[in-house]
Chain A
Amino acid sequence: MNIDAYLTEHARKTPHRIALEEGNNSISYGNLEASVSDIAASIGEFRHCRFAILEEMGIQYIKMLMAVYRSDNIAIPMPIEMPRIILEKILDNSHIRNIITTEAQYSKLGENFFKRFGTIVIVSENKPIQFIRKELSIESNHPELKLVLYTSGTTGIPKGVMLSDKNLTTNAASIIEILGLNADDKAAMVISPHHAFGNSIINSHLMAGGCIAMGNMKFIGSVFSLIESGVTVFYGVPSTYRILLRYPDRFKKAFSNVRTAASAGGGMTKQILRNIKELVPGIEVLPMYGQTEATARLAYVPKEDVEEFIETIGKPIPGVTLDVFASKGQPVGPYITAELVAKGDNILLGYLDDEAATKKKIIDGWMYTGDLAQKLPNGYFKLMGRKDDLLKIGDHLVNPREIEKTIENNNKVSAVFVVPVEHELMGTAISLMVIPEPETDIDTLFKFCRKNLPAHLYPKEILFIDHPPLTESGKISNRLIVEEYKNVKNRM
């Protein structure tokens, strides 16, 4: 059974139960089912074609997503918070001919942006579905492809992760099991629905027949009100918790009726756990670990072990096998650091239009996570950093070399080095060290970053340096960059 079939099932059994809430609006399973069927019928002539979905989090977004599933087309949610320039790159590189969006988004991005599409569908509340253009395309896609999710951090062209019905339902079922979700649960979703974590909240709660209350992290007062509306499960990345914990009194009040505070997207720290537990001793804190390439989740720390094992990723979720492999695909023993690999029905079909990358990611049925880890004797796993030079910035995985190249290629600078620096709310932000040219101008650099990089990559500071922090063999390494940064700061 696929995800949208669960929706039909709940609409039949509990048509009046509320499925989604957004501000003062809500929609029942019965009405959601009817809207999804309407939208699906309007694109029913398309046969397994790629449909970009362009809309912010909300009831409309979920209607469109389910409708693309139901019409047996391929849903490609656009990471709408990214700068326009990145959205355009994604769209053009993934050869998407069809888009489904709202009137507001259509007028915001303008006709020029939509020129690249053969088909443009506009879905608005209380108005008939409208086609700006319609051009049936014939596409040949992976037969099981249902959803393409983009990873969140990169500045260049993010990779599209291809997922199937089986991926989605297996991972949602595992999440339902570890969180003990049922139809009486109300989830608070304040993170982006366009990436793996947010998408998994939609899938698992709709599959369980419960309610999802949607908001965003912009207005803290509204977030607390949303939690106080009867939420039983709250989802956040570590920075979400860091931000909410700045208001301890209200946190205590708002979370007093929440059963589970789940976290993913980055390691939950001892400090965050301690702060939550001090304010709300009875709450179950559930740290989870995963990747977009695993649909969402791979591992979790069971509640009875959270205090003791907060610095591990815990054990695999049901249906997943984890192991640690040395370079030749051989499993290693406990306490030996090597690459974490995963197997299960939630592992991606591959990367969209990128066979070479797929072959590197999945070898002999095992997915290579790129994370270094150790096995512990009790069967838990502990992360030991990245195999590559990727950094976690504001809970997004980013490639610093890519950011450096983007800035270098578009500005008058000799060289750029990305430094991870502490940030009170995001955990980690970036600063830039720049080897200037005579024309280099700091304001212009800041401006370029604003326009061309995702918000979490806006540099905290830009420092000029006079020689590159390279290894003896002339290579760039994060470790040397951080050392040089400390030296520069000490001299200031």
Chain B
Amino acid sequence: MENIKTSIVNYLKDNSFMDKNTELEDSDSLTQSGIIDSIGLLELLDYISEKYSIEIPEDMLIPENLDSLHGLTNMITSLTK
């Protein structure tokens, strides 16, 4: 779990509108806080799909799964099982 989270945070620091020194809580909204926009989210999904060799079905592409570190790690964990 922690590993997944760390790699997402590192990705966001390099590829999103997040500052290197921003502290992100697990439940913070990535879209509301302006960290990521719609194109950025799609790029993040491409990154995740490749890194964890998973295919994310489009009915999982909802805020509950995508809009927070918590949602993203849970989604990846459930798809890699």
Contact = CB atoms under 8 A, between A and B. Distances in A.
Do the two shown chains form a genuine complex with each other? Answer: yes
Interface in A439-466: 447, 450, 455-456, 458
Interface in A218-268: 218-222, 224-225, 239, 243, 246-247, 250
Contacts of B58: 220-221, 224, 247, 250
Contacts, number: 49
A458 B35 CA distance: 13
A426 interface: yes
Nearest to A425: B39
Contacts of A218: 31, 37-38, 41, 63, 66-67
B60 interface: yes
- Which label, helix, strand, loop or mixed, suits the secondary structure of the B interface? helix
A222 B39 contact: no
A407 B39 CA distance: 23
Contacts of A283: none
Contacts of B59: 221, 224-225, 250
A221 B62 CA distance: 5
B61 interface: yes
Contacts of B52: none
B17 A455 contact: yes
Interface in B22-81: 31, 37-42, 58-63, 66-67
B38 A456 contact: no
Contact of B61 (A220, A425, A447, A450): A220
Nearest to B40: A455
Q: How large is the interface on B (under 10, 10 to 19, 20 to 34, 35 or more residues)?
A: 10 to 19
A481 to B, nearest CB: 23
A219 B42 contact: no
Interface string A360-403: 00000000000000000000000000000000001000000000
Among A222, A224, A447, max chain B CB count under 10 A is at A222
A243 B61 contact: no
B10 to A, nearest CB: 15
Indicate the member of A220, A239, A425 with the most B CB atoms within 10 Å. Answer: A220
Contact of A450 (B17, B31, B41, B60): B17
Given A250-B58, A450-B17, A455-B17, A219 B39 contact: no
Nearest to A246: B42
A247 B67 CA distance: 20
Given A455-B17, A455-B37, A221 B42 contact: no
Given A243-B42, A425-B42, A450-B17, A219 B63 contact: yes
A480 interface: no
A243 B60 CA distance: 16
A219 B17 contact: no
Contacts of B67: 218-219
9 contacts: A218-B37, A220-B61, A221-B59, A221-B60, A222-B63, A239-B39, A243-B42, A394-B39, A458-B17
Nearest first, the 3 closest Cβ-Cβ pairs linking A and B are: A221-B61, A217-B38, A220-B61
Given A222-B61, A394-B39, A455-B17, 14 more contacts: A81-B37, A218-B37, A218-B38, A218-B67, A219-B61, A219-B62, A219-B66, A220-B58, A221-B59, A221-B62, A222-B63, A239-B39, A243-B38, A458-B17
